[in-house]
Every structure is written in structure tokens, then in C-alpha cells.
Structure 1
């Protein structure tokens, strides 16, 4: 092979490697950020129950908040990470803001909103409301971007259930909610989150560009009109959002999200014993939030062991994040790793139980 061709191939491979290694999102330092109070009085007690990761584990970040104070931090808590399905819980929060502003009608049907799919929706499917989608009760059972596992294997037949009748956790509902939000508010998701959520909360590591519509790596996706949205956020910012939820939508004594909306989306609407979800951790589902009856906690979680636990009764928030890549190369490395699920869910639950005892004593 001629030297010129070899050189061109080498340059191409080098450029491709550099591109693949570049972070898709940045760690900004926004002007609106505020520094939370850090109370370390329980650090040793927490660390005894929730020890640090083994050296062979993936990078993990953990945060515990009591009220608006951080009482425990471990790992790269400022590093922005893919939230995976926590994105859906975050979207449900800003839906409350948009509804409060009169921009979205919770009872509007897909027919009224002009929402369809490349595989055309039937009249029955188009009768689903925004409320139905937020509850995973749309009755629409079509392939969707980013779906996996039981979303595919347990998918009911089309029109097997009418809208509102049956809980089925699927990505069509979640992704279509993104489409509806953008259409009805006139905002892209990132700028809306930055203006009405990140700014009033004083988030430290957020940027509108860290919310991406469609695959971050420009790979072909499912043939759909409703793109998956990716939200990259740090553990400490996610914890602050959880603290706001625990305080009925308030931060610093000011309303960020209406209290009645927080109560609605975190209430136990769907009994998971009557659903397709074989889950021993959660008992119910609200509006894109999971509910654990035994502990009275609400949860947002994402693939790869990303957890946000909110305990409104004791004003506690626990976050665990498992770094799953911030570039094409690091994401591929994580996906191919044998220990990509390296969190400590039960230690998180035990830590919460210990903190509740301290709070009740």
C-alpha cells in the first residue's frame, strides 16, 4: 500500500479516536450556582454503613442531604453523568411548571395535540391524554427509542388495553412527553430546565446544552417521531433537585414547583402487583416516579445503577451515581465492562434506615 494511503488511514484513525474520546457534554460553572451548606456531623456513621467502592468498581458518586444541607459526599459528585431513565422523572417535574404557567393541558388528548407516529396511531390510541402518558397508562404499545428488556418482551398487543386502563412502563410514553413539551411550550427541554429549574435551585453543574434530543453519538435510532432525550447531570445537582421534591417543591423558602404537583406525581397511583413489572423494590408508580410503600420513599432511577431516593417525611435525600460514560469511547468502555453494575443499592437503603433512626431519636 502506498505511503500516502497509509498516512491518510493513520490520520483518519487518529482523528476518529480523538473524536470518540471527546466528552459530549461539559462541566460548566454557571453564574446562577449557589454553594450549599455542608454538615459533616454524621459522615463517619454514614461511611460505616455505606463504605466506599472497591478499587475494581466503576467510578461512583454519592450524596446525602438533610433539608438543604449536604451531610455526606463521596466520589466525583460534581461530574456530569448520563441520568438514563431519571430523565423521565426530571421531565415530570418541569411538566408541573409548564402546567402551572398554563402552557400544557393535562387532559389534552394526542388527537387534540396532533401527536402521531410513523406507525400511525389508531383512534383509540389517539384518545390517550397527557395524564395517561405521565402515568404510563397510554395504552400505546409501539417500538420506541431507547427501550430494552421488559419494555420489549412484555409489550401487550396494540389496543389490548384502553388508555388509562393498564400500567405499562414503556419509552413511547416517556419520549412522546418530550415531543409534547417542546411543541406546547415553545421551549427546548434544556433551556426550559435551565431557566425554571436550575436557576432558582442554584444548580452548580448544569447547562442547557447538557440536555440532548436524540442519540448523543449520532447513531441511527428507532424509526420514530419521538426522540429519546438525554439529560446529563451531576450527583450533587440531582440531590438538590431531590431536596426540593422533599420540601414540596420549595427551595430557600420559595416555590420552584407547585406543591400540589409534587404531591400528585409522587403519589402511589399504580399498584405494581397488578402490572408487568416484576419488581421487589418498588410497590407503586406515580407520574414518572416510583414509590416504596414500606419506607414511604419516592425514587427516580436509571439504567446502570443511578438512584435518587427522596424521603419527604424525614426530609432526607440519598443519591448514588455510577459513571456510565461521557464520550463515545468511555460509554463503549462502560457498556463492555463486566462490572458496569457496581453500585450498592442495599447499602443505600441501610443508610437511609440508619438516618431515619437518628432523625426519630
Structure 2
């Protein structure tokens, strides 16, 4: 008797992905990108972005910056919610993929979990914003940008007539552009930000920064802090324009090679080569140690690998408060500089990325912490607990 074979079935795109222009990205890849933040798979997707996206390489140094070691057990506790927890508790309770702690320029702890290792390249998400800030500082020092108080349309005339007209580079760095772009991703009722995410990153039918061409104004420039990835995408476009090359190439030239990075980094792209741009607001990927090199360089006033990589003035300027930190919420991201979050009023600051990515720098205790996480979407408890841990690890002295 003949056996009837079941018909082959293709995955079906959710309605939000079928709206608007059709995409040449395979259906299965669009769906994988759509679910990449989900809490049951992000421990893996957050270190597999080169399998989901077109990428552009940021080449590492020929001679890496050697980070000395003084390994020690994390033998301290921290208090959260009225209870004391160990550092091992912390790893489990806050969805940690990898953790690196440096004290006074030396690695004292380096931990990999969930089948990650020293070769895993993790997505920075919005820690990328802090890297983009470093590139702006380099371009300013080179004279490619004349002044932070220049109107952005001096360099990007494509933004004439948009909400960015009359906005300075400084105001964009401080997330005070005033444009009407609420950083909210309600995909059931997508607004400008959610639609931009879908079209640029999932479907690759638009360039992320191009939303700036038609965006409207909501607030007077400089008057209101409102966090938005579009501001940083505009800064990436600025870097591209003033450097005459790609964001990845400028990152290699001005940061990654002189920093002494030991492995290549990469940016995810919002389209195919020749069309797409680096996702400069949240798309950089690197190893745990290379993220730590960024933190140590910041702690050392922009010096790394025996050379001044980023101007010391830029380190001070970009981490000075444009929005002061809340003294009642130490360890939490409440203040802001120029694409760096301020965690207290004593000088601690951090690059922060979606769902628990941290490059934390505490100058008073000479502590650097890199934490790579896979928080479930919207989990604010893990953020608060990480703040408590960061305060404790700063106060801790290895034995």
C-alpha cells in the first residue's frame, strides 16, 4: 500500500513582519531574528550574531595588550532585598554567561558559563553606544569634527528639514536631541522605534539611521533627556561621513588595533554589503577580555597597550554628568554623560546593554567588571541585583 507523505511546511512570518515592503531575508532567519531576545534562547543567540546577520569585521591587533593576572576567589557577599548572597549565587540569579573582574589593572576572576569560552564573541547591545562615543572623541581630536557645538546638519545635510535640524552633536551625545522617537518596542502596536527595528534589523529593507531623515521634533533640543538608539545611529552616520570610511574600519584604525584587542570584533549590519550600515547603536560584538580592555583603558585615562588611544580629555568629558545620577539609587543606571551611564555621584560609570551587558568602571577603587548576561526581556530585578553586586565588588579587596 502506498504511504502518503506529509506535505512539507514552511514557517509562517508573524503579521508584523509581513507588513510593509517584502524582504529577501529568508523566512527562517527573519523568525530567528524576531525571537533572538527571548529568554529561553538568548543565552545562545547573544553569542551567535554572526550566524543571524551580515557582519563587518573589526580587525584585532598584531600584538595584543597583555592583561596581567592575580587570580583570587570572589570570596565576598552582597546584600540584596535584605538577604546576603555569595558571588556564585549572583552568577545563577542574574543570568550570567560570562564575568570578568579586574582590580588595579589585573584580572582577578574570569568565568565562562553555558558552554561559552574565551573565544566567544558576545553582542554588546547598547554598550556599543559607548564605543561610538569613543569614536566621536577620536574624530574630534583629529579635527574631523570641528566642534561638538556644531549643528549636525553641517556634516549630515540630509537631515535638513527633520527634527535633527538645529540639534548639536553635543546634544545628540547627551541623548537630548529632542526628536520624537520613544525607545519603546511594543510590537503588537508598533510605533516608530518598533517599526524601525523590524524594517532595518529583522527584514533589512531599510537603513536604521534613515529614520532620522523624517523624524519630527518633540522637545526643544537640549532641554530633555530621552534615551534613544536613533541618536547613536546618527552619530555612527556622522563617523562614516567625517572619516570617509566605514564605522568598522574607523573602529579598527582608532580603537581596536591601538587598544591591543586580542580577537576580531564585528558589527551586525542592517543590510547586505554595499547597502547596509553597521548598527552603531547596539550591534558590536567582542570577547569578554576585549570588552575588559575597553574598561581598563577608560580607567587609565584613555591609555592602553603603552599608548594614548583615546584622549584623556574625552574620557573625562564623556563620563561627566549631563544628567546627574540619583544619589538614592547607587549602582543603578540613573545618570548620563555622553553615551555612558553614571551609576553614582562618586565617579562610577558603565557601558550598558540590553538584557544585562555591562562594562563597569569604578575609578575610586580601580575596579573594572564586565558582565555578559541573558536577562529575560523586561527583567528589572536582575538589573537592581547587579547594581548591588557591583557596589560590593568595588568595596572588596582580594586576598
Q: TM-score, normalised by structure 2?
A: 0.67
Question: Which of 56, 63, 71 is 2:100 aligned to?
Answer: 63
Question: How far did 1:92 drift?
Answer: 0.3
State the Cα deviation string for residues 189-236 of structure 1 (Å, max 9, x = none): 1121122211122112223xx1133269xxxx9xx9x98551112222
Correspondence 1:94 to 2:135: yes
Q: Distance in 1 between matches of 2:390 and 2:144?
A: 40
Question: Which of 123, 133, 139 is 1:82 aligned to?
Answer: 123
Q: How does 1:81-230 map to 2 (within 5 A)?
A: 81-105=122-146, 106-116=148-158, 120-121=161-162, 125-142=164-181, 148=185, 158-207=216-265, 210-214=266-270, 230=283
Structure 2 residue aligned with 1:281 = 332
Question: Which of 296, 299, 316 is 1:243 aligned to?
Answer: 296
User: How many aligned positions are there?
Assistant: 322
State the Cα deviation string for residues 147-173 of structure 1 (Å, max 9, x = none): 5379969xxx95442212221111221
Flag the 1:29–1:168 CA change in 2: closer, same or farther, 3 A.
closer
Q: Distance in 2 between matches of 1:248 and 1:182?
A: 25
Q: Distance in 2 between matches of 1:280 and 1:317?
A: 14
CA RMSD, Structure 1 to Structure 2 (Å): 4.3
Q: Does the CA contact (< 8 Å) of 1:49 and 1:350 recur in 2?
A: no
Q: Secondary structure at the match of 1:211?
A: strand
Question: How far did 1:298 drift?
Answer: 0.5
Flag the 1:180–1:339 CA change in 2: closer, same or farther, 3 A.
closer
Which consecutive unaligned segments of at least 5 residues does structure 2 have? Answer: 11-25, 33-47, 79-84, 195-214
Question: How far did 1:113 drift?
Answer: 2.0
Structure 1 residue aligned with 2:109 = 72
Flag the 1:289–1:57 CA change in 2: closer, same or farther, 3 A.
closer
Q: TM-score, normalised by structure 1?
A: 0.73
Q: Does the CA contact (< 8 Å) of 2:152 and 2:168 recur in 1?
A: yes
Correspondence 1:265 to 2:337: no
Flag the 1:56–1:265 CA change in 2: closer, same or farther, 3 A.
closer
Question: How far did 1:18 drift?
Answer: 9.7
Which consecutive unaligned segments of at least 5 residues does structure 1 have? Answer: 10-14, 325-336
State the Cα deviation string for residues 221-268 of structure 1 (Å, max 9, x = none): 9xx9x9855111222211110111011111244211111110000011
Q: Distance in 1 between matches of 2:363 and 2:179?
A: 33
Flag the 1:53–1:147 CA change in 2: closer, same or farther, 3 A.
same
Flag the 1:32–1:349 CA change in 2: closer, same or farther, 3 A.
farther
Q: Distance in 2 between matches of 1:89 and 1:357?
A: 26
Q: Distance in 2 between matches of 1:121 and 1:288?
A: 22
Q: Distance in 2 between matches of 1:282 and 1:347?
A: 11
Structure 1 residue aligned with 2:355 = 304
